[in-house]
Amino acid sequence: MSVKIIAGPCYINKNNVKELYEIPSMNKPNRKVIEGMREDGLKSRKELKHSEEYMGIDFDVDLKLCYDLINGVYSLTPNMTYLSAEIAKDVIAKQGELKIASEIVEPFLQIPIYAQNLGDKFFGTQQ
């Protein structure tokens, strides 16, 4: 049995985005120690505060998508995307083969966006 490590901050905010780009450097050419990256752009909380610093970097986009869903104008392929999904896509493109894991707070909104941006690199879309 092998152990697979997923590394990343508790949630993403403007102050720790750069840490995500450092995770792939933990892997060495002859020794892969990091299987994936934790990418929580939206944090679940007991208390809602309208703040990206408290709720995560994707909070403003998620709030808009929730309003769109409630008002019947949400599409499964929205024009908007989560910043965390864009960052994950960029890290993978620049620095290597990693799977992406995320805390899913709004499954109907988050899963299609991550799947659309990351395909089979998102842990939730294994075949």
Quickly count helices (H) and strands (E) in the chain: 5, 3
**Rounded Cα distance, 62 and 52, in Å:** 11
Nearest 5°: the CA angle 74, 79, 85 is 105
Q: Locate 69 and state its tokens.
A: 């869903």
Q: Quote the domain boundaries for residue 59.
A: 5-125
Question: Please, which residues have CB within 8 angstroms of residue 28's CB and are 6 or more apart in sequence?
Answer: none
Torsions phi, psi for 62 (to 5 deg):
-60, -40
Q: What are the pLDDT digits (tens) for 11-60?
A: 888 888 888 888 888 888 888 888 888 888 888 777 777 777 778 899 98
**Rounded Cα distance, 82 and 20, in Å:** 15
Q: Is the pTM of this model over 0.85?
A: no
**Rounded Cα distance, 10 and 123, in Å:** 17
Q: What are the pLDDT digits (tens) for 61-109?
A: 888 888 988 998 877 665 678 899 888 888 888 776 788 888 888 888 8
Evaluate whether 75 touches 103 at the Cβ level (below 8 Å): no
Q: How many domains is the chain built from?
A: 1
